[in-house]
Every structure is written in C-alpha cells, then in structure tokens.
Amino acid sequence: MSNILDKIFADKKKELAGTKRELPLPELKIRMGDQAPVRDVYKALNEGKNSKIIAEIKRRTPFKGELRENFNAGEIAGDYARNGAATLSILTESNYFGSHIDILKEVRPIAPIPLLRKDFICDEYQVYESRAHGADLFLLIATWLEQNQLTDLLHLGKELGLPALVETHNEYDMEKAFEAKASLIGINNRDLKNGKTDLNIARRLIPMALQEPGSTLVCESGIHGREEIEEFEKIGAHAFLIGESLMTSKNIPEKLNELTGRGANEQ
C-alpha cells in the first residue's frame, strides 16, 4: 500500500466482509428501529455562547500509539458531557485505533448529546450500521473516497436522517464536498497519509469553505489551546474536533473548560 490511509481502508474492507456475514443488513435495519431519534448536531454546534467542541474518545492512533493509561470510554464520556462538550466523536476502528463499534452503545446512556461515529466508511452497510448502533452522524473522508462514493454515502445518510461530517484536507477535497452538497464540513489539519499536522491548512481552507454559505465548519486536529480556537473562530470556524489534547490531558474537565472558554465566561 502506498500510505497508511490506503492500508487502513484496505483492511477495513476485508473486515467488513466478515461483519456483513455476522450481522446481515436486514437485521441491521430492524435494529435501527429500536434507536432513539437522531440528536440534532447542527443545533448542538451553532447555539450557545461557548466555543463548540467535538470531544473525541480514542484509545490510540497509528501515529502516536497509546494515548491514555487506564482508558475507560464511559468515564471519559461522562467527563466530556458534564464539562461542556457539544458533541462526542467516537473512534470505532479496531485494527489501528483499538476500538469497536459497541463503544457507541456504551457511551449513549452517559452522554445525552450527538455522537459522531468516526471510522473509515466506504460502504453503504456502514451507514446503516452507524444508525443501528446509536450514532447521530458519521464521518466521510473526502481524501480517500471517489466523488460518486462520497455523494452516494452522504445522500444515503440524509435518507436515514443521519448527517455526515465530510472531512477535507485540501482544495480538491473541498470541491468534492461542495459537489456532494455537504452541509457539515471538516477541515483536517492532519495529513492522514503520514500523520503530519499543519494549522495553515485550516487558515487556507476556511475562507474557501465560506464561499458556500450555510455550511457548518469544523476545524480538526492540532488544536491545543484557547488561543488557537479564538483565532479560527474569528476567520469562520464554527466548531473544533479535538482528540489528542484531551486524551493526553491529566485533567480532562479542566482542559475541556479551557477549550470551550466556559471558565472565562463564567468568571
């Protein structure tokens, strides 16, 4: 494989064949009917005075390894929900991030806010699977998906009442998001092919994204403090997906309050 992103998607496709045999699509569709209504991520990311943080739960990454000792998804979700997270991002990929889709069911009763299923989604089955396990939205990575794939998966989500966060990394990705008529657009400062992070990507792409009115823009990766959040809010970002800064923090509630600006607003 030419890069880590290609390898992750290739392994995901192999894994998916077994998953489909174990839990066929008709059964997934039945399980969808048992889920609570989808929580409104647009409302969560656009209302209120504090900065909107999509707080991520992930055990490890292929670039940094294990992120947190004594990892407990339920405890982390509780800390996030009680301390101002607008939405949670839940890694469900197993081979490279050490997770599984059942974490969505574990977190759902703890966090009464929208849950983003963050995985390497390339098949319609995974969209149904996301809804059947309690996700309120799911991730689509424009860098890897072909235009038709991206558009079709996004539209399937809409049919199921499930929005997609379309993640972009360059101008070509942004054009693909526009073509697919994405209304929730992520700008990832991390190059998923090599793990390198550069905040200038968001500085360059946010003005481009604002050319299409009505979108909710999410700045992803490389955000460590309040100063960076304030900078990107000034140029048009609506929300921030933050994982490693929170997962490696010695005090998650304190760090999250810093990032949202809650502490400053409540003084």
Domain map of the chain by residue range? Answer: 4-266
What's the chain look like in SS3? CCCHHHHHHHHHHHHHHHHHHHCCHHHHHHHHCCCCCCCCHHHHHHCCCCCEEEEEECCEECCCEECCCCCCHHHHHHHHHHCCCCEEEEECCCCCCCCCCCHHHHHCCCCCCCEEEECCCCCHHHHHHHHHCCCCEEEEECCCCCHHHHHHHHHHHHHCCCCEEEEECCHHHHHHHHHCCCCEEEEECECCCCCCECCHHHHHHHHHHCCCCCCEEEEECCCCCHHHHHHHHHCCCCEEEECHHHHCCCCHHHHHHHHHCHHHHHC
Marked catalytic residue, from 188, 215, 245, 257: 188
Marked catalytic residue, from 167, 215, 245, 255: 167
Look at residue 266 in the predicted model and tell me its pLDDT: 46
Marked catalytic residue, from 93, 129, 220, 228: 220
Q: What are phi and psi of 74, to 5 degrees?
A: -65, -45
Q: Is 228 noted as a catalytic residue in this protein?
A: no
Marked catalytic residue, from 83, 130, 215, 221: 221
> Could you read off the pLDDT tens digit of each residue along the chain, which spans 267 residues?
368 999 999 999 999 999 999 999 999 999 999 999 999 999 999 998 899 999 999 998 888 888 888 899 999 999 999 999 999 999 999 999 999 999 999 999 999 999 999 999 999 999 999 999 999 999 999 999 999 999 999 999 999 999 999 999 999 999 999 999 999 999 999 988 888 899 999 999 999 999 888 999 999 999 999 999 999 999 999 999 999 999 999 999 999 999 999 865 443
Q: Is 181 noted as a catalytic residue in this protein?
A: no
pTM: 0.95
Q: Is 118 noted as a catalytic residue in this protein?
A: yes
Q: Is 58 noted as a catalytic residue in this protein?
A: yes
Q: Is 244 noted as a catalytic residue in this protein?
A: no
Marked catalytic residue, from 52, 89, 93, 118: 118
Using an 8 Å Cβ cutoff, are 38 and 162 in contact? yes
Dmax over Cα atoms in the chain, in whole Å? 55
Look at residue 263 in the predicted model and tell me its pLDDT: 63
- List C-alpha distances in Å: 264 to 1, 225, 260, 261: 47, 13, 9, 5
Which of 88, 86, 138 minimizes the C-alpha distance to 108?
Answer: 88
Q: Is 56 noted as a catalytic residue in this protein?
A: yes
CATH number of 4-266: 3.20.20.70
Q: Is 249 noted as a catalytic residue in this protein?
A: no
